[in-house]
Amino acid sequence: MAEIITNHAAYDSKVEGNIFFTRVDAAVNWMRKNSLWPMPMGLACCAIELMGTAASRFDIARFGSEVMRFSPRQADVMIVAGTVTYKMALAVKRVWDQIPAPKWCIAMGACASTGGMYRSYAVLQGIDHLIPVDVYVSGCPPRPEALLEGLMKLQAKIEQSHSSATHFDAEKQA
């Protein structure tokens, strides 16, 4: 005996096909956060942990970030992994500038976040002096789990963003 369903109102796949309703932001954010292609800026021992994060045991592919891009043109998130010396600093900035927007930055480990133990004439005291950082990961170096949590934090941040709304607002004002 057929039961009449009254409260599943909105969507009937037989009538409407494969359509579902969402907000532009929600859809865009969902796509962005699940395919964050990293630009691995490996500068010191943190880079070893970054490699560990990418390898099979920790498998950054579970978070959609397995496509390490060594071209900034194809990257979404720059993972600054290691000590940024003043000699390297402007090169890091240059690579960052070459990444097309939208882009994000993870400062991985103590050195990239604050200069770490290098209170020294040679070391930039945190990459945030040069480029905007979205997530700081503590540790010296951080374990792969910590980096993955940083990545998940970044995903949560992207989920909250209102990029399309901002975009349309800007268009309206123009």
When asked if residue 128 is in the footprint of another protein (CB under 8 A), the reply is: no
Q: Which stretch binds another protein (CB under 8 A): 2-10, 29-37, 112-120, 139-147?
A: 112-120
When asked if residue 78 is in the footprint of another protein (CB under 8 A), the reply is: no
- Tell me 83's DSSP state: -
Residue 21: both structure tokens together: 């309703």
C-alpha span between 143 and 62 (Å, rounded): 17
Residue 108: both structure tokens together: 């991985």
Residue 51: both structure tokens together: 């490699």
C-alpha span between 65 and 85 (Å, rounded): 27
Q: Which stretch binds another protein (CB under 8 A): 54-62, 114-122, 138-146, 159-167?
A: 114-122
Among 74, 120, 138, 166, binds another protein (CB under 8 A): 120
When asked if residue 98 is in the footprint of another protein (CB under 8 A), the reply is: no
Q: Which stretch binds another protein (CB under 8 A): 3-11, 113-121, 141-149, 161-169?
A: 113-121
Task: Please give the C-alpha separations between residue 9 and each of 4, 17, 79, 113, 150, in angstroms, as whole numbers.
Answer: 12, 15, 45, 51, 39
List interacting residues with another protein (CB under 8 A): 86-87, 89-90, 115, 118-125, 129
